[in-house]
Structure 1
């Protein structure tokens, strides 16, 4: 084939105008995990490229600015555990943190299907929390990632409802449900995922306070990261193809950007997106990778900010049910409605087992809100985000068969490393700690 023919073909494919760029590490995904990885790789004098499908960094971190009051409102990620990695990361960008004291007072407990009040849960919650913490202490290897023994302890794969009954933890289910939002049916979830979500660090923060940005603007972290990474970020871009085996020295990645195709050759890849087969469509997955990632199922989590008239000032209302075990509300449904620092502006959280359209979620949210209002005016949605897929998980049998041992074995295989919530927990603090450990391991192998 003539050179001119090759050039013409490349131009038709959208490849002729973009020079191949070379990087030490290409990070796919600019959410919590990917952004942390990219920033800290740069601190380690590594060249990076970040491939992000949206127009911003931050993933599930959602921040709204109310221009009328000059107030920032976080409505995705809000709080952090008091970990060294958290303090260091915010300090890197000069963003002050403050401790949020444990909440006091008693919120309303309402059946959002009818507006009917629901009684508070019975039993000694403090004692039950202590017993739950004692159970967490049995599994120190859950602190970072899923480094499980073989065989996996039976309690870790029990449905959480059975685990609760076995260890007399009924009094603490209401509290755990309030923190473990977005996971689907809590009582059917394997206990290991509950323990990863409501961890010892979360238990400590319940008692001593979570960390929060002083001006309630978590988005500032990702604005700072975007400024530092600058032209190394490819926004609104996706992986079209990948070749991790054809060249002994480089991984070759083709991405689609708003300006056309871009070729990247890179020494290593960090995949920081939820590892579902749909998300990994452009990857050159082999049979092992396809087999593992194809086992994940997920739930969905939705967050919105709404202007609501006719609610008593400061109303906080948890969705509960009178006729269900532990008074947990059926899903899909609202988790909680809470006031923000902007008068009349409320945060509302919703969950489902499978993905639901924005229209249907908003309809359900609006119906629930109207049961609480003194008047029946329609809520005005000023912000909305769907966090899906959320809480990637596998069945107890698959866990028992060594799923996480095989998943961990993918780290470094085919010059690819993986991070994100699926490899630890849906918790930015824990994701950053996991990613920091991963980066140290990568550095040790160079």
Structure 2
């Protein structure tokens, strides 16, 4: 499957203030011995490192940025001081995974803030309003979301917290394999699709032609339960989800090597792994981590896996995954109206075709950020919107990006034909091969709490025998 690039308001990422990072394990020695080396300090890798420490194992966590948390960050509006969660917006209730937040001393009793926005529907290719478009009525939307949730819950154990119970070829339900557009028509849930697209699914690209199981991972049952008021969407009282990863960083201390990446490795079945890590600071200092197990907690793209000397059987599986590159940010422009949401809408969607959406590359929406002075989540061709009168102001005014970030490749997927041919079973067979294990969204859903539960199931096997 080809990779696409898509610009999206999903998963905003920011530059943010963090406590000074610990010196790092490579500052102490050129060679480090650990039970497990974890590559990637996002939601999956940070949780895994804490879990391993809590279960009596020594750990080295390698993170390419200078902070933990991956797509979870916070930006403070300098005008109001309001913390803006950029990236993960809330922790969705899933099994007992709030226990991890509590274990790190962070409360889940905060309140989310939602602005009452006036919606405008605009063709971002031309900047012109899409006259006559009517969004689904709330009653129709919520009824359709319930039907979608019923289907998600029917197949939930096959997909979440991972593919542990995914059926073998020949027994995969056709609902999971059919293109999502066909699934929408079969279950008459088109009124739910705009909400799913606005929330997360726009990041999947041409999502109406993607196997439905991947939509059920991008917009999974925990998220839809929260939308319908049947599950919690939690934030801490501080409002900052990144508080959790600041606590994780304090707990792990010098077991984290920040601003560093793996550049080479040796992986064996019997003698564990050796990973050469290079810092992007400290004059590019290298160190070697010897460990009994390697846990990959980043997307297993060809570029990310290059340092790990894949065998043909491994690369044949991982290179079949297609991804979408997601960019996100926060924008200021005087033409954008406070209290307004601008949704990217194709003219063909009017008056009420909820199955027609922009294709990559595209920008999903601008949404005014509540409790800020003049900030909107992400951007598009503002000049066109000004010229056509949708936004009032000067097209010559500078566009300011308080936040702009590349989230990298996300929403991994293969075709229905690959799934029918046993791809998931081949993917799962990589676990434990050459002392290497995988966590992260390529093996489950990208939602933090689902990733944490995936680790709860996977990690006992990782540490077995050490």
- TM > 0.5 between the two? yes
2:129 aligned with 1:116, yes or no?
yes
Distance 1:76 1:366 in 2: 23
Q: Which one of the candidate residues 270, 273, 277 is aligned to 1:255?
A: 277
Q: Distance in 1 between matches of 2:334 and 2:113?
A: 28
Partner Cα distance (1:305, 1:368) in 2: 19
Aligned to 2:450: 430
Contact between 1:97 and 1:214, CA under 8 Å: does it hold in 2?
Answer: yes
Secondary structure of 2:346's match? coil
Give the match for residue 366 of structure 2: 337
Counterpart secondary structure, 2:92: coil
Contact 1:184–1:300 under 8 Å retained in 2: no
User: Which of residues 152, 161, 165 is equivalent to 1:144?
Assistant: 161
Q: Looking at both structures, which has the greater relative contact order when contacts are Cα pairs under 8 Å and sequence separation is at least 6?
A: 2
In the alignment, does 2:48 pair up with 1:32?
A: no
Match status 1:375 vs 2:375: no
Structure 1: distance between partners of 2:390 and 2:249: 41
Output the CA distance in 2 between the equivalents of 1:301 and 1:369.
23
TM-score (norm: length of structure 1): 0.86
Distance in 1 of aligned mates of 2:382 and 2:153: 41
1:187 equivalent in alignment to 2:200: no
TM-superposed CA distance for 1:178, in Å, is: 1.8
For residue 322 of structure 2, what is the aligned residue in structure 1? 297
8 Å contact from structure 1 (residues 85, 432) kept in 2: no
In 2: Cα distance, 1:171 partner to 1:216 partner: 31
Q: CA 1:158–1:261 in structure 2 vs 1: closer, same or farther (change >3 Å)?
A: same
CA distance in 1, matches of 2:326, 2:204: 8
Among 49, 73, 76, which residue is 1:62 paired with? Answer: 73
RMSD between superposed Cα atoms in Å: 2.5
Q: Give the 3 Å change call, closer, same or farther, for CA 382–178 of structure 1 in structure 2.
A: same
CA distance in 2, matches of 1:318, 1:153: 34
CA contact (8 A) 2:220 2:445 kept: no
Q: After TM superposition, give the deviation of residue 107 of structure 1 in Å.
A: 4.4
Residues 231-267 of structure 1: CA deviation (Å, up to 9, x unaligned): 111112121221122x833311112124422111101
State the distance in 2 between where 1:112 and 1:75 align: 25
Shift of 1:416: 1.3
TM superposition shift of 1:402: 0.9
**Which segments of 5 or more consecutive residues in structure 2 lack a partner in the other structure?**
1-25
Aligned residues: 416
Distance 2:385 2:93 in 1: 34
Q: Please report how far the alpha carbon of residue 94 of structure 1 lies from its aligned counterpart in structure 2 after TM superposition.
A: 2.3
Using the TM superposition, give the Cα deviation of residue 169 of structure 1 relative to its aligned residue in structure 2, in angstroms: 1.9
Matched, 1:388 2:404: no
Distance 1:82 1:248, change over 3 A: closer
Does the 8 Å contact 1:27/1:269 carry over to 2? Answer: yes
User: How far has the Cα of 1:35 moved from its partner?
Assistant: 0.7
- Specify every segment of 5 or more residues in structure 1 that has no aligned partner in the other structure, as ranges: 1-14, 349-361
- The answer to whether the 8 Å contact 1:112/1:334 transfers is no
